Amino acid sequence: MLEGSAAPLPDVAEIVDFRACDPLGDNSAEAERLLFELAQLGRTLGARDARARLTVLSIGVHDVIGSEPLEPLKSVILGPVQVIAQEYPELRCRSIDFADQEGATEEERLLEQLALELAGENDDAFIAWRGPHRWGQEFVPIGESQPGPPRLQQGGAYLIAGGTGEVGRTIAQYLAVNFQTRIVLTSRFGSFDATLLRRLEAAGSEVLVRRADLADEGGSTASSMPPV
């Protein structure tokens, strides 16, 4: 990858990743590699702090017209494409998906569409070309929905998996301060800041910290769990 190159690279403005154009089938190891290498490419480019656009090309990711051949495992590229642009403001990142269509005319058209995309400045995050049509993603409001009964209640009991981490602690503090609740925080090691624990309890909540490894299918590492 870029990090390993001995000579410093010049600033690159346009990077095109073709790897998701190759057939992947049900090779989940290869899909995992694609995911992590793409995330690493984003990190490496992001660390360079230079303006660049990363275009990830693929064949068979989006189900647009309902009849195109699909390769579901390739959808691993969509996460990094979305997150790279959010994490690194200097980087623009997008995914352009094509359908697997044979024939000289189709190939010629695909090359024209690709040239159009690469020459253009349109930064839609997710694009799919199907035949002569360019499809994009758009979010539209679905109208006002009636609010249901509040999910969080005074005196409720809540279990936060991974609750001893940064996000879990923030949610636990919100629950403890705004609701007098019973909160169960689980994590693999079950260690929790004693001062914060006292502060949550002082706000009127009962807080239990328990060990439970979510990746442990058999549940052998879960310590005794109270009813929630």
Q: Applying CB under 6 A, which residues contact ligand NAP?
A: 161-162, 164-168, 187-189, 213-215
Of the two residues 31 and 209, which places its CB atom closer to ligand NAP in the complex? 209
Of the two residues 11 and 166, which places its CB atom closer to ligand NAP in the complex? 166
SS (H, E, C) 155-187: CCEEEEECCCCHHHHHHHHHHHHHCCCEEEEEE
Q: How far is the CB of 189 from ligand NAP (least distance, A)?
A: 4
Q: How far is the CB of 85 from ligand NAP (least distance, A)?
A: 15
Of the two residues 100 and 193, which places its CB atom closer to ligand NAP in the complex? 193
Of the two residues 128 and 184, which places its CB atom closer to ligand NAP in the complex? 184
Q: How far is the CB of 163 from ligand NAP (least distance, A)?
A: 6
Q: How far is the CB of 213 from ligand NAP (least distance, A)?
A: 5
C-beta of residue 200 within 8 angstroms of C-beta of residue 210: no
